[in-house]
């Protein structure tokens, strides 16, 4: 369980998500998880200011990390309080990197793996949230598999 920080100004804009008193925030977050292609996992998310708290159970570390990134990479979200339990086998968690201005997946790959041609590994690790290798933005956080 941990608190992950995100760049509030970066990410997909969800209308009224962070409006104080938004009674539909939890449902909007669940719909967002489904919309980015992560299905309907057994998690519940709540909003308090710019912090999203997510609780529940998932089958794998990869699924957990993708849910955390999907929720954190929303405009206005400053942090995600991870209270998700993984029920499957324990594996080493992936590393996270923040996209900088001018970054490409190849540049990130060169930085973290020492080989620009490993960009596909990063792209695959961030599917289904990423749909195109050329569509990343500054402030976005990405999973970097070991």
Question: Residue 81 belongs to what domain range?
Answer: 2-86
Which residues, listed in sequence order, are joined to residue 142 by a DSSP beta bridge?
97
Are the C-beta atoms of 7 and 139 separated by less than 8 Å? yes
What pLDDT score was predicted for residue 15?
66
What pLDDT score was predicted for residue 1?
65
Distance (Å, whole) CA 84 – CA 56: 5
Q: What is the DSSP string of 16-58?
A: TTTSTT-TTHHHHHHHHHIIIII---EEEEEEETTEEEEEEEE
Verify that 72 and 125 share a domain, yes or no.
Answer: no
Verify that 79 and 112 share a domain, yes or no.
Answer: no
Whichever domain contains 112, its CATH number is 3.10.350.10
Q: What is this structure's pTM?
A: 0.87
Verify that 100 and 138 share a domain, yes or no.
Answer: yes
What pLDDT score was predicted for residue 90?
78
What pLDDT score was predicted for residue 91?
83
What pLDDT score was predicted for residue 74?
92
Distance (Å, whole) CA 66 – CA 127: 8
By three-state DSSP, how is residue 13 classified? coil
> Which residues of the chain, if any, have pLDDT below 70?
1, 15
Could you check whether the bond before residue 78 is cis, i.e. omega within 30 degrees of 0? no
């Amino acid at each position: 369980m941990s608190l992950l920080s995100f760049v509030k100004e970066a990410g997909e804009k969800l209308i009224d998500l962070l409006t104080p008193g938004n009674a539909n925030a939890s449902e909007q977050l669940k719909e967002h998880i489904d919309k980015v292609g992560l299905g309907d996992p057994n998690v519940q998310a709540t909003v308090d200011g710019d912090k999203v708290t997510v609780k529940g159970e998932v089958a794998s570390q990869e699924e957990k990390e993708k849910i955390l990134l999907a929720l954190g990479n929303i405009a206005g979200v400053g942090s995600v309080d991870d209270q998700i339990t993984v029920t499957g086998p324990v594996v080493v968690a992936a590393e996270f990197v923040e996209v900088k201005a001018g970054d490409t997946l190849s540049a990130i790959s060169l930085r973290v793996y020492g080989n620009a041609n490993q960009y596909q590994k990063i792209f695959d690790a961030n599917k289904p949230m990423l749909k195109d290798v050329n569509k990343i933005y500054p402030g976005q956080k990405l999973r970097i598999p070991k």
